[in-house]
Amino acid sequence: MAKVTVSTLAKMKKQQKKITALTAYDASFAKLFHDNGVDIILVGDSLGMVLQGSEDTLSVSNNDIAYHTRCVRAGSKELFVIADMPFMTYSNPTQTCENAAQLMRAGANMVKLEGGEWLLDSIRALTQQGIPVCGHLGLTPQSVNVFGGFKIQGRQDEQADRMVADAKALEEAGAQLLVVECIPSPLAKRISDELSIPVIGIGAGKETDGQILVMHDLVGISAGYIPKFSKNFLAETGNMPDAVKKYCQDVQSGAFPTSEHEFN
């Protein structure tokens, strides 16, 4: 497998080749995903829920993400690794650059920030310092207390238009990738069509440029409930390597997600 870069991902969008992504937190799963067709690993602050047992992602620290990023990078030198910037680690450009630098030194290829227009100065500062940026719009888990829970975003026309405007502003500021989470499928398609950078969806339908899942959802072992947008590929295949292969194949063919995994 050739080394995946931002240029690789941009080319995949132009060629309409679906991008596959999963979260991972250690070297063993990073190697497994590398060996079975995954393009991107996200070292997500989801680790606060699936590894640490918290009810949300807010307790995760930058040191936590840096530690797991080093572990993931040790498992694969070729995969494209995105590191989440945790809650309150990017409240201003100076803080953002300092914390992002720690994650890049740990082995990340890109950092991910949740939010819209208020992030523009920080994104410009990061790109000026040579740090690639992934945006994140829709259901942004770090804002769970503002939303009043994990709720679908973008169902009202005004909110959808604001999200499209935010997506365009993030790209203009220098973001090279965007994740959209738990938004109506038509809105996800609109954003994907109007942006030149790749758009990766989770709970956003099949019309984005790629898909991402939390690895624990992929194999049906998440604590609590399994999200509507996920699928237990392990139950279908019987072993981990085949589950990952099946996920990648279904994303690339358009077989996943289906209408039962999306929101209208």
Q: How far is residue 228 from each of residues 8, 29, 113, 257, measured CA to CA in Å? A: 30, 24, 24, 10
Taking Cα atoms as reference points, which of 141, 147, 142, 139 lies closest to residue 163? 139
Among residues 55, 158, 172, 181, which one is catalytic?
181
Handedness of CA 250, 257, 219, 1 (dihedral sign): positive
* Strands 133-138 vs 19-23: parallel, antiparallel or unpaired: unpaired
- Calpha distance 83→120 (Å, rounded): 19
Q: What residues contact 234, with CB distance under 8 A and at least 6 apart?
A: 218, 219, 220, 240, 243
Note the Cα 43 to chain centre separation in Å. 9
* Active site annotation includes 98: no
The amino acid at 37:
G
Taking Cα atoms as reference points, which of 232, 198, 179, 207 lies closest to residue 42? 179
- Calpha distance 212→141 (Å, rounded): 15
**DSSP result, 196-237:** SS-EEEESS-S-SSEEEE-HHHHTT--SSPPPTT---HHHHH
> Which residue numbers are catalytic?
181
